[in-house]
Amino acid sequence: MPTEAATASGRQTRPAKVRVRADDLRTLVSGIFAARGVRQADAGPVADALVWANLRGIDSHGVSRVPRYLELFDKGESVPDAQPTVARPRAAIAIVDAHTAPGPLAMNRAVAEAISGARECGIGWASVRGTVHTGAIGYYTSQVADAGMAAVGVVAGLPTMAYAGARGAAVATSPLSVAVPAGRHETVLLDMATAVMALGRIAQLKATGTELPPGVAVTKEGDPTTDPALAAVPVPVGGPKGAGMSLVFEMLASGLAANPIVPGYHSGASQGRRHRQNAFILAVDVSAFLDLGEFTSTVDDTIEAIKALPAADGVAEVLVPGERGHRSELERLAAGIPLGPKAWRELTGIASSLGVAVPAPANV
Amino acid sequence: MPTEAATASGRQTRPAKVRVRADDLRTLVSGIFAARGVRQADAGPVADALVWANLRGIDSHGVSRVPRYLELFDKGESVPDAQPTVARPRAAIAIVDAHTAPGPLAMNRAVAEAISGARECGIGWASVRGTVHTGAIGYYTSQVADAGMAAVGVVAGLPTMAYAGARGAAVATSPLSVAVPAGRHETVLLDMATAVMALGRIAQLKATGTELPPGVAVTKEGDPTTDPALAAVPVPVGGPKGAGMSLVFEMLASGLAANPIVPGYHSGASQGRRHRQNAFILAVDVSAFLDLGEFTSTVDDTIEAIKALPAADGVAEVLVPGERGHRSELERLAAGIPLGPKAWRELTGIASSLGVAVPAPANV
């Protein structure tokens, strides 16, 4: 178990993190989900989506969300063994109804449907209606890239972010992800919130009482603040640009899924604030446009042109989207996924109470 | 003709602007293009794209670009009577080869192809290869919305913008436009550069010697500046977010069109810096997902929920994307399009030299 570490000088440092092998963590989380009613065949894929986020360094979307998933089960806002259903009204589009199944189940289905539409028609679109927490959207777009296709993914959820010119939480931090397959290089993977700083990251700074950078959040009253105790609402990137992206993403993701979130949220009705999300995945079959090898070679050349640019002062290396995440993945696959003592205690506590075996950390 | 205006106190004010009726301006510009070799049937549509930008208040993309179009003709970088050709490798996708025809010709064709793919398959995508200056991308996405569909549009061009962590111009300010049809309200029309401030707007401030807001541009050496004389390179919105969007837009718009721009630009080859653009338009046929009236009613409700939010201090009204542009359009349709004396002199000079009739301004 983790112990408080102290330096030779006696100065207290942060509590040591546990390192858990990715496979072990997947087995643990999958076991928890299965014990809580997720079908055996589905528990692994749900766990995989969360562990992937940890591997990529997006810890706010990783296994620390397990207690939240169980809370959604307890409240009836997510049904652990629900099965998404699919309609395909025209050749290139599918509508996946999640029926409040754990998010990754509907999203994985959307990936498969978007790819299948793209194989037939050149592009494929899958709308996802009424899912719960999807995890990191890059997990899904990168699967499309693994199939040799480019992908765009968007998720819309409950308003938590400010809207340019308005006070309070107005729109969601709706993320945009674009994945582009490369050849010699790793997939280019953009995965960005429409907020200056993602909500999960702000929550981490608040939890540790760390001062926020300026321009990241406002108070409940809408005043700019760097005080973690007062920060309540993240602000959109580029003011009207991020706010506008979030608004049109809601219209596309929720509107086309016939499951609007923003109007109900602001209507004051209690049902309007119930947790729910909508999403879409667009797959573009590169090979319908040109030879896949020619395309990925262009992507490689583009990556290399950017990485060869002179670096700005104080910058060690120019990076392309997804590069940092890929390095995190390699490091964490080798050394295990670092988890804070609280997150580890919580996970192992849940596992023990459900009779699920707890793996030994990799660094103990 | 415009005259220098002076207040009663004798203080010099800015030169008065000419107001030209939209129809007159369209006829004038269309006449210029026809006289310079654009086919009679094509000259009107090219003029319309430019005049639309002026109507919407995006003057940097309006008729002030006419001299630049003629310069592209002179250099052979655009062929005035070239005709775009179309391939449709699969049911939902088209590739429009612009053959360096004036931008709006290929882009209008892409709009038609994307809509036709969407009618058949639910969504339609048209890539545009090797176009020149497209004008404002919102002109094209809003046409898709007029057909009762949602649209996404992206243009990729020569690098002019900084990339997070690198020095110098690295990537284009590649705009993103999303258009969503509404019912009681006007089309929601997002049209944003991936730069904090669009290049055209920075050029306007430089031309008038106006200090730039902080965080908008850097010098040639990559240092932040607000000095209009030193500002050389616009910075991406949200640092790595805007830079990442621009990079993946280049990969999607140029890569799928088999006409990469970024690698050639940085290769040092002179051909790599030749003016050219690529683009794509995605159309989503709303009626394939749900009843169009139900969708537009949801969009209306969403607009109204946002506009009903309490406004921030000093903000008179919360606006949705496209609302400001629509108001500009109404005002300018009624009062004429304001043109600076220099732009008007330039246009009328070109017209006279080509024997094209010059309309009388509306306000003289």
pLDDT exceeds 70 at position B85: yes
Please tell me which of the candidates B150, B192, B317 has its beta carbon nearest to residue A244. Answer: B192
Q: If you average pLDDT over residues A320-341, what whole number do you get?
A: 97
Nearest-by-Cβ selection for A306 from B170, B290, B301: B170
Q: What is the average pLDDT across A313-329? A: 97
Nearest CA among A50, A84, A51 for reference residue A69? A50
Do the Cβ atoms of A192 and B244 come within 8 Å? yes
What is the spatial distance between Cα A117 and Cα A202, in angstroms, rounded to a whole number? 38
Per-residue model confidence as pLDDT tens digits over B291-335:
999 999 999 999 999 999 999 989 999 999 999 999 999 999 999
Calculate how close chain B gets to A78, using CA atoms only, in Å: 24
- Name the amino acid, one letter, at B301: D
Inform me whether the pLDDT recorded for B1 exceeds 70. Answer: no
Contacts of B309 (CB under 8 A, 6+ apart): A163, A166, A167, A168, A170, A266, B318
pLDDT confidence band for B148 (50 / 70 / 90): very high
A:203-242 residues touching chain B, CB 8 A cutoff: 222, 237-238, 240-242
Q: How confident is the model at residue B199 (pLDDT cuts 50, 70, 90)?
A: confident
Contact status of A87 with chain B (Cβ, < 8 Å):
no
**pLDDT confidence band for B179 (50 / 70 / 90):** very high
Q: Which pLDDT tens digit goes with each residue over A95-110?
A: 999 999 999 999 999 9
Confidence of residue A9 (pLDDT cuts 50, 70, 90): very low
User: Given a cut of 80, is residue A294 above it in pLDDT?
Assistant: yes
Are A142 and A214 spatial neighbours (Cβ–Cβ below 8 Å)? no
How many Å lie between the alpha carbon of A156 and the closest alpha carbon of chain B? 13
Write out the two tokens for A218: 């406002």
The nearest CA of chain B is from the CA of A56 a distance in Å of: 17
* Contact residues, chain B, for A244 at CB < 8 Å: 190, 192, 320-321
Interval A36-43 mean pLDDT: 98
pLDDT, position A14:
63
pLDDT value at residue A295: 98
Q: Which chain B residues are closer than 8 Å to A127 by Cβ?
A: 289
Burial class (CB in 10 A: 0-12, 13-18, 19+), A62: buried
Question: So what's the ipTM on this one?
Answer: 0.94
pLDDT digit string, tens, across residues A144-197: 999 999 999 999 999 999 999 999 999 999 999 999 999 999 999 999 999 999
What pLDDT score does B9 carry? 43
Percent of chain A past pLDDT 70, that is, above it, reads: 96
Under 8 Å between Cβ of B340 and A194: no
Instruction: Residue A119: name the closest of A296, A335, A283, A279 by CA.
Output: A283
Average pLDDT of the segment spanning B159-178: 96
Residue A25 in contact with partner chain B when CB distance is under 8 A: no
Kindly state the average pLDDT of the residues B67-80.
Answer: 96
Reduced DSSP (H G I as helix, E B as strand, rest coil) percent helix, strand, coil of chain A, to 5? 40, 20, 40
The confidence score (pLDDT) of residue B13 equals 56
**What is the average per-residue pLDDT within B187-210?**
91
In terms of CA atoms, which chain B residue is nearest residue A123? B92
**Ramachandran bin of B258, using left for φ above 0, alpha for ψ from -120 to 50, beta for the remaining angles:** left
Q: What is the pLDDT of residues B87-117, one digit of tens each?
A: 999 999 999 999 999 999 999 999 999 999 9
Name every chain B residue with its beta carbon within 8 A of the beta carbon of A282. 123, 282
Mode of pairing for the β-strands spanning A85-90 and A18-20: unpaired
Of B122, B256, B306, the CB nearest to A170: B306
At B11 the pLDDT is: 46
Chain B touched by A95 (CB under 8 Å): yes
* Range in A22-36, A241-255, B5-19, B188-202 with the lowest mean pLDDT: B5-19
CA distance B213 to chain A (A): 13
Write down the pLDDT at residue A149.
98
Tens digits of per-residue pLDDT, B255-279? 999 999 999 999 988 889 999 999 9
| Mean pLDDT, rounded, for A26-40 | 98
Q: Please answer whether residues A15 and A2 qualify as being in contact, where contact means their C-beta atoms are separated by less than 8 angstroms.
A: yes
Q: How confident is the model at residue A2 (pLDDT cuts 50, 70, 90)?
A: very low
Residue from the list B125, B168, B290 with its beta carbon closest to the beta carbon of A284 = B125
Query: Could you tell me the CA-to-CA distances from A103 to A72, B9, B72, B316 in Å, in that order?
Result: 11, 68, 51, 40
Q: Across the interface, do A290 and B260 touch by the CB < 8 Å criterion? A: no
What is the reported pLDDT for B201?
83
Mean pLDDT of chain B: 94
At A221, the pLDDT band (50, 70, 90 cuts) reads confident
Q: What is the mean pLDDT of chain A?
A: 94
* Per-residue pLDDT at A201: 83
Nearest to A256 among B258, B265, B286 (CB): B286
Q: What whole-number distance in Å separates Cα of residue B49 and Cα of residue B111?
A: 13
Q: How many residues does chain B have?
A: 364
Place of tokens 């057909």: B147
Whether pTM exceeds 0.80: yes
Contact flag B165-A294 (C-beta cutoff 8 Å)? no
What whole-number distance in Å separates Cα of residue A228 and Cα of residue A214? 11
**B309 contact residues in A (CB cutoff 8 A):** 163, 166-168, 170, 266
Q: pLDDT of B36-71, one tens digit each? A: 999 999 999 999 999 999 999 999 899 999 999 999
Length of chain A, please?
Answer: 364
Return the C-alpha torsion angle B162, B164, B166, B168, nearest 10.
Answer: 10
Q: What is the pLDDT of residue B221?
A: 83
CB contact under 8 A, A150 and B256: yes
The answer, yes or no, to whether residue A12 has pLDDT greater than 70, is: no
CB < 8 Å to B178, chain A: 245, 248, 252
* Residue (of A336, A68, A303) closest to A185 by Cα position: A303
Of the pLDDT bands very low, low, confident and very high (cuts 50, 70, 90), residue A10 is very low
Q: In the numeric block, which tokens belong to residue A142?
A: 């990168």
Q: Please say whether the beta carbons of A110 and A256 come within 8 A.
A: no
CA distance B104 to B100: 11
Q: Is A319 on the interface with B (CB under 8 A)?
A: yes
B269 touching A, CB under 8 A? no
Per-residue model confidence (pLDDT) at position B226: 96
Tokens of B347: 């246009």
